[in-house]
Amino acid sequence: MTEANQSHWTFLTNHSHVLLCVAADPDVRLRDVAEKVGITERAAQRIVAELESEGYLSHVKVGRRNHYEVHTDMHLRHPLEDHLAIGALLRVLVQRD
């Protein structure tokens, strides 16, 4: 397959990519998340707001920055995976130094 014929899909969604970034670095700036994920900062803000409204994330202000907490006991949303907590996904995909 030539490069021109290769599709540009990934196994994980932007929501999961944002969650993985925050889980890897709870003090990450959304500007940096957006850059890593390949989305706009506005899209990163929207995704974080959606993850917070659904209970997957919360944050507290620390000075001028946010410190995020991932609620690892929340379950994945799709019926094929809803028996698994988000913590299971993070244990597999988040590399901590």
Q: Which of 5-14, 41-50, 57-66 is the least confident region?
A: 5-14
> Is residue 48 in a domain?
yes
Residue 5 has pLDDT above 90, yes or no: no
Residue 6 confidence (pLDDT):
66
Residue 66's domain spans which residues?
7-93
For residues 51 and 87, give the distance between their C-alpha atoms in angstroms, rounded to a whole number: 14
Residue 97 confidence (pLDDT):
55
> Is residue 82 in a domain?
yes
Question: Which residues have a Cβ under 8 Å from the Cβ of 36 and sit 6 or more positions away?
Answer: 17, 21
> Is residue 2 in a domain?
no
Residue 52 confidence (pLDDT):
98
- Find the farthest-apart pair of alpha carbons in the chain and give their distance in angstroms, rounded: 51
Q: What average pLDDT does the chain have?
A: 92
Q: Which helix (H) or strand (E) holds 34?
A: helix 30-37
Confidence of residue 1 (pLDDT cuts 50, 70, 90): very low
For residues 91 and 81, give the distance between their C-alpha atoms in angstroms, rounded to a whole number: 15
Residue 8 confidence (pLDDT):
81
Q: Which helix (H) or strand (E) holds 67?
A: strand 65-70
> Is residue 30 in a domain?
yes
**CATH number of the domain within which 45 lies:** 1.10.10.10
Q: Is 69 helix (H, G, I), strand (E, B) or coil?
A: strand
Number of structural domains found in the chain = 1
Find, among 33, 36, 60, the residue nearest to 47 by Cα: 33
Say whether pTM exceeds 0.75.
Answer: yes
